[in-house]
Every structure is written in structure tokens, then in C-alpha cells.
Amino acid sequence: MSENCKKAYITTPIYYVNDVPHIGHAYTTIIADTLARYSRLIGLDTMFLTGTDEHGQKIEEAAKSRGRSPKEYADEISGKFKSLWDEFDISYDKFIRTTDEDHKLGVHKAFETMHAKGDIYKDNYEGFYCVSCETFFTKIQLVDDEFCPDCGKPTSIVKEESYFFKLSKYEERLLQWYTDDEKCILPKAKKNEVINFVKQGLHDLSITRTSFDWGVKLPEKMNDPKHVMYVWMDALMNYITALGYGKDDANMEYWNGTTVHLVGKDILRFHAIYWPAFLMSLDLPLPRHIGAHGWWTRDGEKMSKSKGNVVDPREVANAYGLENFRYFLLREVPFGQDGDFSQKALIDRINSDLGNDLGNLMNRIIGMSGKYSNLVIDSTNVMKYHEKEIKDAEAIIDTLEPFIFELQLNRFLEELWKVLTIANQSITAYEPWAKIKEGKEEEAMALVALVANLLAKVSVMLSSVMPKTCASISDALGFEITPENFNTIIKDKKLLETFTIKKLPALFPRIEHEELESPEPKVASKKEKKAEGIITIDQFFETKIKIATILEAEEVPKSDRLLKLKVDVGENEPRQVIAGIKEFYTAESLAGTQACLVANLKPAKIMGLLSEGMLLAAKDKEGLSLIRPESPKRSGTKVG
């Protein structure tokens, strides 16, 4: 981001309201928050947008399965996102909801503009649709002719009248943009994936649906009331409708500034292909960067409710501290790569990087200045004794900003930590306690002041990642972190005025691994493996058994044994289970009853039907009984 550019516009994806926020959502939002805070710190007029994506078939179905209206349901989940971001002190300037009336105005304007330009035409769509990903596919893209190549869920055949956007018309211009603007998509490897995809040829995009209702209707002047906007056409527009597009353009000047869209790699295609093509059609400028980060997994697996391995960001923040969690997320994984969440890695980062490198340094100068100078720290002799250390630190800090705007936040932190290394090494090398003994007080005091100055610089630079922690550090060092002080301390490289350091409680108390409340599954030792037939409790809990409420049951045609069940295990969508129990239960007798389901079995196909779990049953010569709770339990309750 260049200095002449005075406006910054930072966005997260707008999250679907079919799911409560988890670590993945928190990750994107925290990256965006860091960028927004840094932009403000360096004096850019910054707009930070987040929000929720509330239309589409997926939401309509999720609401229906809970017996709620889509709007009621969207209100509830959107509220959960907003309150988590508020609790997490996310510094968003606007929280948009696609059910906002102003947003709809903008979607209409965009549709009308594209239509007037000849970029929208009406035809028939025939293909496959994945509701979970809200994505159209052609048959050759499917796995086993049926399953979504992205999420693996079954797709449905769609055959309906639709309006199409002439995406193919923009193929060449998109390729030109990727070539001309080196950093439009970050990281580079992801950009290459996009280029390869576009080079295979773009089909025009179906942008309306007629088979469901929950969406933005077409503008009245189109006189075609049965169509609603395809959810991505609706959702992507949020980035401009939030600025007043279609209403009063009140904040559209942010769109002409530097726009950075943060997204997960799962939705890069929509942002790097459809979105710029829509913008080209609307004659609007293209974003500066679209940054696609990797995927957080748990124990190497994709997180999903059905696997019961979702990491709740609130729980982690409550247990380990919000800012420690922020630091960990940004430091642990290079932007663009997948990361596996583990408590052990988080604790190691807190104890090592934060506790040892940063927290101890603070304690040490409080201790030393308490002993040597009644807590007064004076920078007068810093350059006399430590010019090299100061210059080395400044040289590192001068390289940091591009890491932020090019989204290499782990590199940013890694480099910044080198300043702490300079500080820690200087204490070891100069041994101020020895200098005091030798009567070289001036030198000892200069060393303490050197460290205080290095800590001051680090706290300013780190403040967008750990705002409150850095505010405490700077407060102890006698200054406030503001854009003015960014200029003084970082840009103009001024040293601190004489001040009295304030005592601080330990910033990062050490966490022992034994304190973990839910230790991660251990790998069984050889000895354990040898005890045949005996499993550990951890091994038992690898099988996730849950209470399933049977919503519907029907016979599988041409099968003597099988029933097809729709069961609720407390997830967004019911699961389909194919059970070999027809000899013992009629379909009608099962609906509304409960049973125990093995919920983390790999889905399998039985007589061509997908089965997502297995019901537990006991069978003897008298017959078969499903294993059921003694009294009704909430769907999805864990058994074990």
C-alpha cells in the first residue's frame, strides 16, 4: 500500500448464517482486523466491513429443518456472529446483512446496469447444484456422477429457466488483469490456480433461480417475479452496497482507495473470477488484493460438526486469552497454507514467543530499573553505547510494512521478533548487573533504556495484532499507541523521553501442558497396542456416538432389509442413514423415535444410496432392538 493512498477498505467474507462462528471464521476476521488496525495506525482513512450472508437455498433449508422462518433464523445466527466479533473487540466499521433493504437496492442496481449493458440474458439452465456450497456444476465435474467435488455431499439436478451473466465475455480481460497486476491475488500459488482455471474456459454464469424463494427478487422493471438472485450474485455485491452503491454512494470513495478482500481458499474462485468480472461489467475499479488463506484443520481433518471436531474460538480465547489466540493464529501458519490446530502448539507459542521473548523482557527492565534507577529510564546515552543495536532494529522495522499488506503476517511477526532477539541478546552480552558492580552505572542505565526503546518499537508494531497487551506495554513505558506516536517512534525513529516505568503484572503467565483440561488424544504406546482387545479410553472416544432423532423413514425399493432414514443429530442439515432393520421395524413405527448413531463413520453407499452413519442395535435370536435413550434426549447429544 503506497503512502499516497489515503483510503483503505478491508473486508471479510460475509458468513453464512447456517452455522455458528468457528475458528475458521475467527481466523479470517482476525486477519482483517489486524490489517484494519494497522491501516488506521499508519494514518489511512480505513473502512472495515464484515457481515452475514443470509439468503439462498442452504439457509432456507436450514431454517425449515428447525421449524423457523428464514428471517427469524437469520436474525438469530447473524446476532451470534455480531456478538462474537464484539466480544473479540473486532474493530469493524460496518456489519452488513444481505437482508438489509439498502443492500437489496444495490443488488437491483447492479442487475439493471449489467442487463442494460447486454451482459445478462435469459435461457434455460440444466446441470447440478450443491446446496451446501451454493455452487453449480456440470456432470463431468462431479465425483461418481453425483457428489460435489468441493464438499463431497450429493448434488441435485437443476433444470430451470435462468438469467445468465456473460462471464465468458470477460475471460480475456480477467487473464490480462492477473498478468498485469502481480499482486491482485495472494499468495501467488493461489493466483496460478485461478489462472489455470480460467484458461480452461469460462461458461456463462446462471445468476437467478426459480425453484426456491429466499433471496433478492429481480428488479420490478424486469417483470419476472418468479426469479430470485443466485446467492453469490447477491452476496458479492455486499462489498459495494455497504458503501452505499444503489442508494446514495455515500462511501463509494473507499472503493476507489485500496481494497483488500480477505477470503478462505474455498471461496477464492467466486472472488477472483466472478467478482472482478461483475465489477468490469459495472465499470468499477478492481480490488487491490484478494488474499486467500488456507484451511484450519483439527488433527489433520477438515472441521465439521458431524465429526464433532470443531474448534470453538470463544472457548480457546477464554481459556488462553484472546490476544494470545490472535498471535497464535497469525504466527503459526504461513498465509495461504493449511494449519492444524493443536492446544500444544498454542501453549508452546504462548510460553515461548510471548512469555520468554516478550513478557520476560518487560519484567527484566522493570526489575533492573527498579534496582538501579528507582524505575526512571533515560534514553540520553542509548546512542552512545548502543547505536548498532538501534540501527539494526530500525533496519528490521523498516522492512515490515509490506508483510502486512501482502498478508504475510507470520513473516511480519517472525521479523518483528528479531527485534526482541536483539534486546534479549544485548542483556546477555552487556550484563548490566556486572556493569553496576564495576561502577559503570551509565552503561547499565543505557542498556536498560535500549531495551525499553526496543520494546516501545515492538509494542507499536505489534499493536494491530495484540492491541490491549501492547497498550499495557506502552502505558508502562509512558506513551500511548496513536498514529502520531507511530510517526514519532517508528517513522521518525525518535527515542523515548525520560519516563518512570510502571510496574506490570506478568503479561504471559506460564501455562503447563498438564493443565490442559482436555488433553489431545495420545498415540497408543507399543505396550498398549500389545494388550489385545483392550483399548484405551482415548481409543473408545474416537468413536463418536450421538443421539439421533428419526425424522422420516421409508422403505428402500427392491430391498428386503433396508430402510432409508432421515435423522437429526443436531447439525444444520439432517443426515441420511441406510439401515438394515426392515425385518424388525416398520418405517411408520420409527418416525419421531430416537436411537444411538455412530456419527463419525466414513459415509458409504449402500445400494447406491449415501449412508452417513450407523444406528447401534443389539441382535439375538429373539430379534433386533435399536439402542435408544431411556428418556428423550436433545438430538446430537453425545453418548459415552
| Residues forming the site for ligand ME8 (CB under 6 A) | 13-16, 24-25, 27-28, 53, 235-236, 238, 263-264, 266-267, 295-296, 303
Give the distance between the most distant pair of CA atoms in the chain.
97
Specify burial of residue 514 (Cβ count, 10 A radius: 0-12, 13-18, 19+).
exposed
Q: Report DSSP letters for 65-91, one per residue.
A: HTT--HHHHHHHHHHHHHHHHHHTT--
Minimum gap (Å) between residue 295 Cβ and ligand ME8: 4
Minimum gap (Å) between residue 341 Cβ and ligand ME8: 9
Strands (E), 471-603: 499-500, 545-555, 563-568, 575-579, 594-598
Backbone torsions φ then ψ of 96, nearest 5 degrees: -95, 145
- For residue 235 the three cell numbers come to 452476496
CA distances from 97 to 53, 55, 89, 300, 326 (A): 6, 10, 19, 33, 25
Whether 422 contacts 454, CB under 8 Å: yes
Residue nearest ligand ME8, Cβ-based: 24
Instruction: Output 26 or 595, the one with its CB closest to ligand ME8.
Output: 26
Minimum gap (Å) between residue 301 Cβ and ligand ME8: 10
Output the CA angle 232-302-187, nearest 5 degrees.
Answer: 60
Quote the CA–CA distance of 460 and 485 in Å, as a whole number.
Answer: 8
Minimum gap (Å) between residue 308 Cβ and ligand ME8: 15
Instruction: Output 35 or 382, the one with its CB closest to ligand ME8.
Output: 35
Instruction: Output 49 or 358, the one with its CB closest to ligand ME8.
Output: 49
Quote the CA–CA distance of 431 and 378 in Å, as a whole number.
Answer: 18
Instruction: Output 378 or 573, the one with its CB closest to ligand ME8.
Output: 573
Specify burial of residue 199 (Cβ count, 10 A radius: 0-12, 13-18, 19+).
exposed
Instruction: Output 24 or 257, the one with its CB closest to ligand ME8.
Output: 24
Candidates 255, 234, 235; CA nearest to 245 is 255
Neighbours of 602 (CB within 10 A): 5
Instruction: Output 14 or 105, the one with its CB closest to ligand ME8.
Output: 14
Minimum gap (Å) between residue 235 Cβ and ligand ME8: 4
Minimum gap (Å) between residue 190 Cβ and ligand ME8: 12
| Cell 450474485 -> residue | 233
Instruction: Output 97 or 411, the one with its CB closest to ligand ME8.
Output: 97
Minimum gap (Å) between residue 337 Cβ and ligand ME8: 11
Minimum gap (Å) between residue 39 Cβ and ligand ME8: 19
Q: Where are the alpha helices (DSSP H) in 480-585?
A: 483-485, 526-530, 537-541
Instruction: Output 303 or 567, the one with its CB closest to ligand ME8.
Output: 303
Minimum gap (Å) between residue 16 Cβ and ligand ME8: 4
Instruction: Output 51 or 467, the one with its CB closest to ligand ME8.
Output: 51
Whether 132 contacts 575, CB under 8 Å: no
Quote the CA–CA distance of 489 and 159 in Å, as a whole number.
Answer: 63
Instruction: Output 70 or 264, the one with its CB closest to ligand ME8.
Output: 264
Minimum gap (Å) between residue 549 Cβ and ligand ME8: 25
Under DSSP, the state recorded for 487 is: I
Minimum gap (Å) between residue 574 Cβ and ligand ME8: 19
Candidates 191, 259, 188; CA nearest to 11 is 259
Instruction: Output 224 or 266, the one with its CB closest to ligand ME8.
Output: 266
